[in-house]
Amino acid sequence: MRFRRLKLSGFKSFVEPADLRIEPGLTGIVGPNGCGKSNLLEAIRWVMGEGSPKSLRGGGMEDVIFAGTATRPAREFAEVSLLIERDDGGDDDVAGESEVTRRIERGAGSAYRVDGRDVRQKDVALLFADAATGAHSPALVSQGRIGAVIAAKPVERRHMLEEAAGISGLHARRKDAEQKLRAAEANLEKLDELMAEQE
């Protein structure tokens, strides 16, 4: 999977719509202090389903919406779209482009779309996890991240390796399957009880 384009509107300091091309290879963001470099990386993590406002340096998720300045009023929503190029993963996975969008409105929470279709946060998280990336991907190197990797505990390093290997999506699916299995077992027990009552 490759990131091709990032579009932002009303996200943190990016109050005006911005459309950025992401070229192949390693991308670095440079600029003076406070110009919004970290906000761009956070926009990528946010559209990939980041659920923790704290890891986006906010108190609540609505803090990602442009909060206004002395001369500009605050915005009511923030929207980020990421255009991705999918590799041919075999089976049903066909190569092509997809646009993933996340939008948040004050008082209404977040909504996700993939190619214009409404989807759940979980679908978006799985889409990226299967491609060995995601909101916590080691491919996104923010300030202080290198130090954090060096200081990480073995279990944290294992999570990073699992994410890089693309198996964190499998863990999520396994949890889902286990929940479904437990529900089916509970239903079977109920059915046994009902049948015993009938006999």
Residues that bind ligand ATP (CB under 6 A): 12-13, 31, 33-39, 63, 65-67
CB-nearer residue toward ligand ATP: 57 or 190:
57
> H/E element holding 187?
helix 168-198
- Residues 78, 68: contact at Cβ < 8 Å? no
CB-nearer residue toward ligand ATP: 42 or 130:
42
Q: How far is the CB of 10 from ligand ATP (least distance, A)?
A: 9
Residue 24 annotated as part of some ligand binding site: no
CB-nearer residue toward ligand ATP: 90 or 144:
144
Q: What's the order of all strands across the beta sheet hosting 117-119?
A: 18-21, 2-9, 77-86, 96-105, 109-114, 117-119
Helix segments in 27-167, DSSP class H: 37-47, 121-130, 145-151, 154-165
Q: How far is the CB of 96 from ligand ATP (least distance, A)?
A: 32
Residue 142 annotated as part of some ligand binding site: no
Q: How far is the CB of 13 from ligand ATP (least distance, A)?
A: 4
CB-nearer residue toward ligand ATP: 63 or 99:
63
Residues 6+ apart with CB under 8 A from 98: 83, 84, 86, 114, 115, 127
Residue 68 annotated as part of some ligand binding site: no
Q: How far is the CB of 92 from ligand ATP (least distance, A)?
A: 38
Residue 7 annotated as part of some ligand binding site: no
Residue 38 annotated as part of some ligand binding site: yes
CA-to-CA separations, 93 to 9, 89, 90, in angstroms, rounded = 30, 5, 5
**Residue ranges at the known binding site:** 32-39
**Residue ranges at the known binding site for ATP:** 32-39
